[in-house]
Structures are given as structure tokens and as C-alpha cells.
Amino acid sequence: MIEDKNQQRTQLSDLGEFGLIDHLTKNFKMSQSSTIKGIGDDAAVLAFENKKIVVSTDLLVESVHFDLSYMPLKHLGYKAVVVNLSDVYAMNAKATQITVSIAVSNRFPLEALEELYAGIETAAKIYNVDVVGGDTTSSNTGLLISVTAIGEVEDEVYRSGAKPNDLLVVSGDLGGAFMGLQVLEREKEVYKVNPNNQPDLEPYTYIIERQLKPEARKDVIQLLKDLDVKPTSMIDISDGLSSEIIHLCKQSNVGCDLYEEKIPLDPQVISTCEEFNIDSTTVALNGGEDYELLFTVSQADFPKIKANPSLSVIGFMKDAKDGMHLVTRGDSKIPLKAQGWKNFND
């Protein structure tokens, strides 16, 4: 589906391992004062004065986590960084450095890796993090990418701090990444049958972008700081609203009522759900990969957040014995289940 625009193909073996990482990262700029030494020695050197450090790692595997038939390598590099930064922000931390390691088979020429690293560089620039290390090695099959993100934090927020009566809040809107994936999968099947078919993706631009080029909510962390709101618990939404709510509830030992009518959905998600004949609430609950922030705040903070277009109050926490429920538009109560992303496709 995505044309290979790289006419030139330089074999990786022409560079050798040592040349490769230097070549791919030679234009990366260091901008964090906590970066003392970046790439180029045996290890990076970082200095954080009187700050706590958060560290988070993700591993992405080709054909498990991404499909290169519709995922451009530049987007993949961008997304690999963003999904890691999302975990750092979910701790109420400021992301400062990343390391990026890849394992790659010889079917990828140097030019493909340059695309991947262009996406990594773009994300690092936009989110203001330094790329301070990494490794490249060969793989017999596909492409693997591992990103480790490092951040600094003063007031960390765990998943475990929610109290009964706290409000449950989510940023942005949900279900877009999953519906974008449905459109891309459908077009891939069409393309297999007729490679000359030019798909009209115009009605799906927002949801496809949500899938291929997600953003982490660094802005929401800043917003909460500006509003003087400290969440009592927080998590990022990588696996779907339902399973993330269950994580917060279980780790905080509380229950929850989630209101179906309050779940924020983009009009494009609603129209695409209608087209695919899928229930939009099910998509928001189980779709995953939205990388929005889900958090709880005390009721006293409600006036500070209620008018904000980036934030939706979608429910409130209860005693653990009351359980975790979805309150439907028809006012019936359904227990929340962690159906998740993988099972949803079956």
C-alpha cells in the first residue's frame, strides 16, 4: 500500500555495526541540561540534581505490534518513541532522555533505517528529549525496536492513589486508533486483490493519524500543573479504557461507575463505527492505543477542570465492594471487563 520511495539501497554490511549507530544518530542534538554525555562512549552520563528518576521500556515486534505494509518507517520511529513517553507522562513526570535499540534483518537497506531514525529524531525534537544511547544488532526475521525512556519527577502519581468519590477523568477522545487500524486492515485486503486500487482515505484522516502517528499527552501534564490539579491516580490508555480503569481500581482498592454517555468520541469514530457496524462504546472500552491519560481527581478539584475541552469527567470512584460498572445510556449497570485489544479481534 505504501510505495517504497527509496530507490537507493545501501547494504547494512557496507557500514558495519560501529558505523551504523553513528551514522543514524549523527545529527541528533542534545538539549537537556541533565545530559552530560550522550552517544559515543560506553555509556551515557546523566545528572539529575535532587530529582527522582522514572524509567520505562517498551519492545515493539514486527507483525505483532506493527505491520510495515501500511506503517511507514518514519511513522513507526515516531510512534515507538511516543508510546514510551506516554508512560513517563502517566507518572506525572517530565521525559528527558531516551535510548533506542533495534534488531534488523538484511532485507532492510540503510535508507529504510534512515527513515526510521528520521521519525525518532522528529519525536525527540517535538517532545524535547535527548537520544543518549542504543544498540543495533541483526535479526533473522523482522524488525524489533526497543525504546527506554527516562524522566525526572517531583510529584509522582501512581495507579494506586484513587479514593472513593474521586472523579474519573480522561483526556482527548477514545477509539480512534482502533478504528484507524480497521480502515487500514480493510484497505490492505483490497490492495491484495487489486494493487491498482487507490484507496480514498480522506474520510478517515483523523483516525488513521491516531493509529499511525499517535501523540503522548505531555500537554495534559502541563495543563494539570497550570490548573494546580494533582491527580490522585493516573495511567495512560494503551490497552483500552476498560482494562485501564480496572488497573486503577484494583491498585487503588476502589470500585467505579463509568457513564457510557460521558465517554468522549470523535465524530469520525462514530461514523466509522456505523460503517463497520461496530458499537462505538465497545471500541472505546476495548480498542486501545489511544495514548490518552486516564486519572482521578478529588471532587474539590472539579471546578478547575470542568470547563476544559481537553478533559472529560466520565465517572466516579466508589467503594471496592460496589464493583466496577459501566452505566449505560439506558441506565443499566454492566460489570467492566478487561477484554483488551488482542481478544477483541478474535
Residues at the contact surface with Mg ion, assessed by CB under 5 A: 87, 236
Query: Which CB sits closer to Mg ion, 112 or 294?
Result: 294
Smallest distance from the beta carbon of 292 to Mg ion, in angstroms?
Answer: 11
Q: How far apart are CA 35 and CA 159, in angstroms?
A: 29
Element (H, E) at 35: strand 35-37
Torsion (CA) 175, 216, 325, 302 in degrees, nearest 10: -120
* Residue 134 annotated as binding site: yes
Smallest distance from the beta carbon of 233 to Mg ion, in angstroms?
Answer: 13
* Residue 155 annotated as binding site: no
Query: Which CB sits closer to Mg ion, 87 or 121?
Result: 87
* Residue 289 annotated as binding site: yes
Q: What is the DSSP string of 228-289?
A: T---SEEEE-SS-HHHHHHHHHHHHTEEEEEEGGGS---HHHHHHHHHHT--HHHHHHH---
* Residue 236 annotated as binding site: yes
* Residue 107 annotated as binding site: no
Report CA Rg, the chain. 21
Q: How far apart are CA 122 and CA 111, in angstroms?
A: 17
Query: Which CB sits closer to Mg ion, 236 or 260?
Result: 236
Query: Which CB sits closer to Mg ion, 35 or 86?
Result: 86
Smallest distance from the beta carbon of 251 to Mg ion, in angstroms?
Answer: 12
* Residue 41 annotated as binding site: no
Question: Which cell numbers in the block locate residue 194?
Answer: 487489486
Query: Which CB sits closer to Mg ion, 257 or 292?
Result: 292
Smallest distance from the beta carbon of 13 to Mg ion, in angstroms?
Answer: 37
Enumerate the β-bridge partners of residue 133.
99
Q: How far apart are CA 297 and CA 82, in angstroms?
A: 25
Q: How far is CA 257 from the centre of its chain?
A: 25
Smallest distance from the beta carbon of 87 to Mg ion, in angstroms?
Answer: 4
Task: Please enumerate, by residue number, every residue annotated as part of a binding site for Mg(2+).
Answer: 42, 56-58, 87, 135, 236, 239
Task: Please enumerate, by residue number, every residue annotated as part of a binding site.
Answer: 42, 56-58, 65, 87, 117, 134-135, 159, 236, 238-239, 289, 341
